[in-house]
Amino acid sequence: MDINEFREFLQTRQDAYAAWGRFVSEEICSALRNSLGDDKAKLFLKIHSEPRLKTIASALGKVSRKGYDNPMVQMTDLIGVRFVVLLSVEIKTISDIIENCDKWHATVSKDYLSEIDVNPKIFDYQSRHYEVRPITQFDYRGESITPEMCCEVQVRTLLQHAYAELVHDSIYKPSGDVPKSAERQIARSMALMETTDDLFCKTMEILADNSKERNELLEFLSGYYSEKIGKQYIDEDLHVNFSVIDTFKGHIDDNLPNKIHVLLSEKKYIPTRIINRVEYNPLFTQPCILFVYWLASQLDSGELLSQWPLPGNISGLELVLSDLGKSISR
């Protein structure tokens, strides 16, 4: 295929490649939401993953530089999408989604873990690159997506992305010679970036271990609320839930889930009371409300009110106490 034929190919297939990139991006984002939940998925990606279509001029320029004889196959980045996460340990989450999707073939075209050993200057590409091609032909957004179409998917951390944006054109694709002193500075930066990422990862491990008990309790409360009250009523606010859990952490033990289950079995009216209040009191949209009911059943109301961590919603606690027939004493 000569360059004029390739130009004609691009002119007729630009919209199809754009549609293929959009499909890949949306499939990965959908799988991420299903895995983490909507709120956590939004926080997980640090930069919006918008597909990028290579311009015809850029594609033709690359053919001239590289000397491709079959650019339709050899040029794998006519459409691409990048996913940026916070830490290197989080790259695996996106990689697993890409590799386990049954709608395309995904092959690793660049893996920093192996390449950085070969060339330490490779840090600007310290990300996983995938070539993603559809298994079969299908139509999407009015365009025919065919098996030979490739979408390049990059997965990298925020540190790697910042580094790459800084040095990519200046160091690895320069218009002239790069001074050795500049390469030395880049090598120092690379080491600093790797050390920073390692420290961040270890810090998050420590924090996760320290928060394990409360995270597990909130996970139970969220699941039990969905089961007994209804997932559609949850409007989770982590700050509210953790404020309640942290304040009364001295009452948490391994048997707490069973104790809450027993309470709801004995007080079968509680789910209905919660549902009736979700529209006018936000406390009842929080999974921790189940913990609050249990606390109210066990503690003196005055003690509970004196420790209550939500001064702007004392009325919600008073409703819970009233449901359980407890006097509201301060």
Q: Are residues 260 and 318 in the same domain?
A: yes
Q: Is the model's pLDDT at 315 over the cut of 50? A: yes
How high is the pLDDT of residue 104? 98
Is 192 within the bounds of a domain? yes
Residues 90-107: tens digit of each pLDDT: 999 999 999 999 999 999
Q: Are residues 135 and 241 in the same domain?
A: no
304 within 8 A of 321, measured Cβ to Cβ: yes
Q: Is the model's pLDDT at 329 over the cut of 70? A: no
Picking from 149, 175, 208, the residue at the C-terminal end of a domain is: 208
Q: Mean per-residue pLDDT for 3-30?
A: 95
Place of tokens 């919660």: 274
* CA of residue 57 relative to chain centroid, distance: 34
How high is the pLDDT of residue 171? 56
Is 21 within the bounds of a domain? yes
Q: Are residues 201 and 223 in the same domain?
A: no
Q: Are residues 24 and 160 in the same domain?
A: yes
Picking from 183, 208, 233, the residue at the C-terminal end of a domain is: 208
Q: Are residues 101 and 146 in the same domain?
A: yes
Is 329 within the bounds of a domain? no
Phi first, then psi, for residue 87 (nearest 5°) are -120, 155
Rounded distance, CA 319 to CA 298, Å? 16
Q: Mean pLDDT over all residues of the chain?
A: 90
190 within 8 A of 123, measured Cβ to Cβ: yes
Give the sign of the dihedral formed by CA 175, CA 180, CA 182, CA 185. Answer: positive
How high is the pLDDT of residue 26? 98
Is 24 within the bounds of a domain? yes
Q: Are residues 78 and 167 in the same domain?
A: yes
Q: Is the model's pLDDT at 176 over the cut of 70? A: no
Is 198 within the bounds of a domain? yes
SS (H, E, C) 147-182: CCCCEEEEEEEHHHHHHHHHHHHHHHCCCCCCCHHH
Is 328 within the bounds of a domain? no
Q: Is the model's pLDDT at 322 over the cut of 70? A: yes
Cα-based angle 219, 102, 129 (whole degrees, multiple of 5):
85
Element spanning 273, H or E: helix 270-277
Q: What is the CATH number of the domain that holds 134?
A: 3.30.460.10
Q: Are residues 224 and 193 in the same domain?
A: no
Residues 210-256: tens digit of each pLDDT: 889 999 999 999 999 999 999 999 998 999 999 999 999 999 999 99
Which domain does 253 fall in, by range?
A: 212-323
Q: Are residues 145 and 41 in the same domain?
A: yes
The count of structural domains within the chain is 2
Residues 253-271: tens digit of each pLDDT: 999 999 999 999 999 999 9
**Which pTM was predicted?**
0.74
Is 330 within the bounds of a domain? no
Q: Are residues 141 and 247 in the same domain?
A: no
Phi first, then psi, for residue 226 (nearest 5°) are -60, -40
Q: Are residues 56 and 175 in the same domain?
A: yes
Q: Are residues 270 and 181 in the same domain?
A: no
Q: Helix, strand, or coil here: 137? A: coil
How high is the pLDDT of residue 39? 82
pLDDT category, 183, cuts 50, 70, 90? confident
Residue 253 has a CB neighbour count (10 Å cut-off) of: 9
Cα-based angle 67, 73, 76 (whole degrees, multiple of 5):
85
Residues 37-66: tens digit of each pLDDT: 888 899 999 999 999 999 999 999 988 888
Q: Are residues 193 and 222 in the same domain?
A: no
Write the DSSP string, 209-236.
HHTHHHHHHHHHHHHHHIIIIIGGG---
